[in-house]
Structure 1
Amino acid sequence: MTGRQGPALSRRSLIGAGLGISAAGLTAAGPGQAFAAGSPHPRRASGPARGHAFLAAAMDAYPDHGGIRLTQSYADQAGLFSTAFTYDNALAILAHLAARTAVGLTRAKALGEALLYAQDHDPAHDDGRLRQAYNVGPYTFYDGSPQPDGFVRADGTVNVGTQFGFTGTAVGDMAWAGIALSALARRTGARRFLTGAVRIGEWIERTGRTDEPLGGYKFGVDGADQKLPFTSTEHNTDLICLFGRLAGLTGERVWRERRARAAAFVQRMWEPSGGFFYTGTDDGVTVNRSPIPEDTQTWTYLALGSRARGYARSLDWAAAELAVRDHSGRRNSTVPAGQSYEGVTFSSASLLADEDAPIASGQPEPDRNGVWFEGTAHLALALRERGARGDEARARCLLASTERAQELLGGGQTVGGRALPEQSGVVSASSPLDTGFGFGYYPYRHTGATAWYLMASARFNPLRA
């Protein structure tokens, strides 16, 4: 939200000091117009071209604050100011690489260099970790305190997102950063990117490895550097990819053993009678059976590849059990009159949200049928990857709905006070959406949702090892 109502927090806002929450409870193109060669008449740029224009605008929003920079995660209207989540920036790198253009590679390398800089210039740690989020431009916080710096402070340290408590480090965020750096290493051959990815993998091994009965790798640390007790299916799915890539890039067998440990945890979360994956465990012993999120159904398929044939039903579960259609006639919907959007919601709990209570203090009441566009893109990509009968048609419908949102939702929004290119980024949700994990998503243009849309459009699987 905006103004005095406070920010619209995302799932990446949950591990600052005192904010721990359970895993089981957790410019590449022109800005809006393109011209056909030899034609005097303008035609509208494609959805992917406009998506890349948004990523460029969000990356270039603070030109007076240095060349080392990250991409702002949300439009200003979300109330998170210049916050750049590590997860979103990893996705931005991968989306730039998915474009397979010189401009995309240049932008991906610049963001990768910024992540390496953050590893080497943390104000408190020198162990390869990245924080949950950083500030990338100046603003005045809600309490009137100024935040004058860009991503790099005057003393050379990186500008950690302390105002919202985004100071912890999650294994999943680290894994995605490692995946992005390993992709850069493979694309460019530059050793420094592989070195950064290995440092991330070693931090995860030291911090997250657990010998609890369910095994796997635990959630990470909070802002006070205290280990969090939860173990997440999503995070361990990310590690299947990261450790698999490190095994291939380094030739070291130890990464294969670590990949197997993460994969074993994910497989233990499988519910064969229902055809879906549970979200994780709070104590390493008991599987949490509710809520059931979307990403543990789609990312598992994307990460396991041909090994996922026995688990392919998870995509059908997500497509059927989390399907929503949001339209202006629904209670609490913020979709303009005459519009409707189809896709999936965040979790099974989203469908049961209390429509008489705000998601959090100062936030709006949720729409049970709000479409989560990031997850909708996950599903579209996974269906394209599976390629069973009807999968491509279903994926195209999901992408068409996302492109309608790109065109019609989030108009007039800004990044760094600058107007965004028209019809560019994808909003995180069609209407206020309660995830069921203690936070919500809202109709603000979002780097993460846009990046996943771009990867799904390009058939680029970021989790393929």
Structure 2
Amino acid sequence: MASQPAGPVFLASYPTAAEGPLHGAAFLYDNAAAAIALVGCGRTGEARRIGDAILLALDNDRFWHDGRLRNAYAAGAADAKPLKLSGWWDPARGQWLEDRYQVGSDVGNMAWAMLALLALDRDGAGAAYAAGAERIGRWVAGMRDERGGGGYTGGTFGHEPSPEALRWKSTEHNTDLAAAFTRLEESTGRAMWRERAEQANAFVRSMWDGKCGCFAAGTGEDGVTRNPILALDAQVWPLLALAGGNRRYAAAVPTVEGRLSVQNGFAYGEARDGIWTEGTAQMALLYSLSGRDTRAIFGAIGTLRAPDGYFYATNTQALPTGFMLQTDPTKPRLYYRLPHLGATAWIALAERRFNPFTGTTALPPAPAQP
């Protein structure tokens, strides 16, 4: 933050990335996680700079004015109108290109923007942040789905004016939304947000497999058929985010330890080809808030620090996730050994024992009995 120009700013997700889709891209999720980590570290003034950039993005998109945000923006000062989106020059084509995922709007990323704004609201930074979170929440509410376990579909993919509607549903995204809508209800007192939180929560419950002790990653395009991939964040986040989740879904912890552990850390998926730094920090936070010994897991995290102070996204050159790229379904989605804002933010959260889903140093309590 200290190296950035004054005023609202988005931070580069991969500050050392070479020219291409990741170069100069400030992913919304990474910046939201960084803002919450700054709040957790008592650096609200710096967190506000990212929060203010998010509010400017709501008002100054080049096309949308309905409460949605993009999945990524151009890193740096958020002072252009409209706000600059990330992209890169392709010399072979002789044209400027934009990634179709980055210009889209995943509901999970919208939820993280809401959580960041609500963390600022809770910290007394001003009412504008809660109002911005409500604007985003109203757009997300349009993704409500009645198929199968209900919940919310994935959002949109691709460029305006007619992006593709994503009909699949994600356990991770709905966990994010359950937490964000709960926080909105706490901030505004409006019961409609509690109802929307329960809609997202109901979907997450429907993805739980008691025999496996695990969550399905979500559904296919039909909104019903389960995606059987065992993804680390889909196992950890419901325990951190949902009321009573750490007890209701306690069986997920030994499942993760038995099927995703690697070198005192954790992989993204069952291939176990290397440590996923961000997910390992998520497990470190869960361990810490559950009163478990964290020395080994923080030891593994410590080996992943880059010379610039960031942490690498993984300890291997390319870590598979088990998913394919939306932009090219023939290619796997990978994490690369690059210094990563999102991983660094999660490590700060874990070290501070600050739960981004609650804005406190605690797991969400079990719901009150009627």
User: Scaled by the length of structure 2, what TM-score is found?
Assistant: 0.86
Code of the residue aligned with 1:371 in structure 2: it is I
1:74 to 14, 38, 62: 14
How is 1:140-159 mapped onto 2 (pairs within 5 angstroms)? 151-153=78-80, 156-159=81-84
How far apart, CA to CA, are the structure 2 residues paired with 1:323 and 1:381?
A: 16
- Tell whether the 8 Å contact from 1:319 to 1:379 is kept in structure 2 after alignment: no
2:268 to 346, 361, 367: 346
How far apart, CA to CA, are the structure 1 residues paired with 2:254 and 2:25?
A: 35
Structure 1 SS opposite 2:10: coil
1:434 to 320, 341, 344: 320
The answer for unaligned runs of 5 or more in structure 1 is: 1-55, 138-149, 326-341, 352-367, 412-419
Code of the residue aligned with 1:190 in structure 2: it is G
Residue 177 of structure 2 corresponds to 239
Following superposition, the deviation at residue 378 of structure 1 comes to 0.6
Residue 48 of structure 2 corresponds to 109
- Residues 149-181 of structure 1: per-residue CA shift (max 9 Å, x gap): x5433xx21011243331000000000000010
- Tell whether the 8 Å contact from 2:178 to 2:197 is kept in structure 1 after alignment: yes
- Tell whether the 8 Å contact from 2:16 to 2:339 is kept in structure 1 after alignment: no
How far apart, CA to CA, are the structure 2 residues paired with 1:243 and 1:235?
A: 12
> Which structure has the greater CA radius of gyration?
1
Are 1:167 and 2:79 an aligned pair? no
Following superposition, the deviation at residue 307 of structure 1 comes to 4.2
Residue 300 of structure 2 corresponds to 401
- Tell whether the 8 Å contact from 1:315 to 1:383 is kept in structure 2 after alignment: no
Are 1:381 and 2:285 an aligned pair? yes
How far apart, CA to CA, are the structure 1 residues paired with 2:18 and 2:205?
A: 36
- Residues 159-209 of structure 1: per-residue CA shift (max 9 Å, x gap): 112433310000000000000101101111511000000011111001x10
How far apart, CA to CA, are the structure 2 residues paired with 1:309 and 1:299?
A: 13
Aligned length: 333
How far apart, CA to CA, are the structure 1 residues paired with 2:140 and 2:201?
A: 15
How far apart, CA to CA, are the structure 2 residues paired with 1:213 and 1:405?
A: 41
Structure 1 SS opposite 2:17: helix
Structure 1 SS opposite 2:167: strand
Code of the residue aligned with 1:131 in structure 2: it is R
- Tell whether the 8 Å contact from 1:233 to 1:265 is kept in structure 2 after alignment: yes
Following superposition, the deviation at residue 275 of structure 1 comes to 0.7
2:132 to 182, 189, 196: 196
Are 1:259 and 2:197 an aligned pair? yes
1:123 to 62, 69, 88: 62
How far apart, CA to CA, are the structure 2 residues paired with 1:78 and 1:384?
A: 36
Are 1:458 and 2:352 an aligned pair? yes
The answer for unaligned runs of 5 or more in structure 2 is: 88-97, 325-332, 359-363, 365-370
- Tell whether the 8 Å contact from 1:167 to 1:222 is kept in structure 2 after alignment: yes
Code of the residue aligned with 2:168 in structure 1: it is F
Residue 362 of structure 1 corresponds to none
- Residues 46-80 of structure 1: per-residue CA shift (max 9 Å, x gap): xxxxxxxxxx36xx34x3xx633111111223542
How is 1:292-307 mapped onto 2 (pairs within 5 angstroms)? 292-307=230-245
- Tell whether the 8 Å contact from 1:315 to 1:382 is kept in structure 2 after alignment: no
Structure 2 SS opposite 1:405: coil
- Tell whether the 8 Å contact from 1:294 to 1:346 is kept in structure 2 after alignment: yes
- Tell whether the 8 Å contact from 1:176 to 1:238 is kept in structure 2 after alignment: yes
Q: Which has the higher contact order (CA 8 A, sep 6+)?
A: 1
Structure 1 SS opposite 2:350: helix
1:447 to 324, 332, 341: 341
How far apart, CA to CA, are the structure 2 residues paired with 1:169 and 1:129?
A: 7
Residue 117 of structure 2 corresponds to 181
Are 1:216 and 2:155 an aligned pair? no
Task: Report sequence identity in percent.
Answer: 38
Following superposition, the deviation at residue 305 of structure 1 comes to 4.0
